[in-house]
A and B are shown apart, each in its own frame.
Chain A
Amino acid sequence: MVSTLIEQIVNGIVTGSVYAIVAVGMTMIFGVLRAINFAHGEYYMLGTFGAWFAIDYLGLSYEASIVVGILSTIVIAYVVGQLVMRRMVGAPAESGVLATLGIALVLQNTVILVFGGGYKFFSGGYIEPVSILGFSLAEQRVLILVVCLLVFIGLELMVTHSRMGKAMRAVSQNVECCEVVGIDVPQVVLRTFILGAALAALSGVLTAPVNVSVYGGMGELITFKTLPIIIMGGLGNVRGTFFAAMILGIAESLVATYVGLQYRDTVGFATLILMLMWRPHGLFSTQARF
């Protein structure tokens, strides 16, 4: 009984890690652009499809497919960034919602049009179980946990130490000032966006061996999961996003086990709506950006 509970919590943390890697990019994009990217889950889907394509069509190994998945997503994100995201600097929030909704429709349905709408089987990954502290856990899940921690440590270091990170922090705090001191705001937005998309793709290719099935609509589901996370985490707040993702991952896992699997996918939005009524500004401060 207790061991099921702990197992579910561990599973929840793995799911939370998947969400966290996607959501952190979304929240950083909000930080610099003040717009919510409704298409963010589509980059998760693109990464997964890229890797699946590399394995099934090009006969590459899983390791190589990770690179292909992320690189192809970066290329697409670059195009979308140049054409659309750069224009969103300084636009009203409503424009951001509509434009990214449009991108989501285009990306998702183009993939369905090209590869078909059915479920595809993802054959790569490390699925051997390993035993840690008496629990057996698939290698892939351990990998996800490790990568998630590395991503967040890396982001912390980047934000505090690199030029790019400092520029991102500056833009997220005050766009007008940045323009005055000569920071190229659209360039920072573009880079942040590509970084976020690449992270979403990374999350996708790491999760594919666990989920096994790959389909065009998978990105939308991820968007719906990460939207509540970034709001609960306090829009633009990286650490808050990490904890909110973990909370949602664990909550979903527990709801799926003890309440019913069918209710799992509504946990996020149900919590979000309750939270918006109770604390409209998120559980974690939006002031503590990055």
Chain B
Amino acid sequence: MTTHLPLLDIRNLTKSYGAVKAVNDVSLHIDRGEIAGLIGPNGSGKSTFFDCSTGLARPDTGTVVLDGQDITGWSLNRIAREGRMLRSFQKTVTFRSLDVEENLIIAGQMFTFPSILSTFSIGKLSRQRIAGLRERARELIRMAGLWDVRHQPAGNLSGGQQKLIQFASMLMPEPKLILLDEPMAGINPKIIERVVETILYANKSLGVSFLVIEHNIDVVTSICRRVIVLDQGQKLAEGLPQDIIQDQRVREAYLGG
């Protein structure tokens, strides 16, 4: 029975800012093991939809159910910690003055310590936990091709490298689902390849599902099995990537018809 349940099930999500309905009655689901794409012209409500699904903003109406649990109204940190649903940000962000390894360890900490108070311990158990995290961090750092710069402050690295740090950080907690907000924006083709590889690796080997906002249509068609199109806050179309790019309504929305 449970296998038929989608991993993430969002129903009738609506969010207004003043008179503007940024997201208007959008329903969407992600299946286990799936990589889905979310596309749409600028200002179509994709980011607001992300914010409302991940707890950064509170939706006006609608429900968000993750793995059978209603998480509507949970805070960003609780959704990440208890739901293991993580998100990235459009603007690349890292803990700039900390080195790459520390960046990744921070990302894993809240998932290995049972309570806030236990994080204040420097006992043997605590050190063992951190040692375990460090090992995992190093594995991911090697995979992301950041081994040589692992002791450099993240802020000193290039935009593309910081993107990889952000990505590797999100894999630290063994997430169920990752929401990526324009992962390819502003990075060079070589890094794009690397990010695509990492997404596919995470999906196949680690069993992580993805919902990806992306403008690079080649990337979307190559990694997504299913694409959802938003336009003016509403769901316009949904289907296979090759069908979607042929869809007349989608073309009109993008060309400003």
The reply to whether A and B meet directly (CB within 8 Å) is no
Q: Which residues of A contact B (CB under 8 A)?
A: none
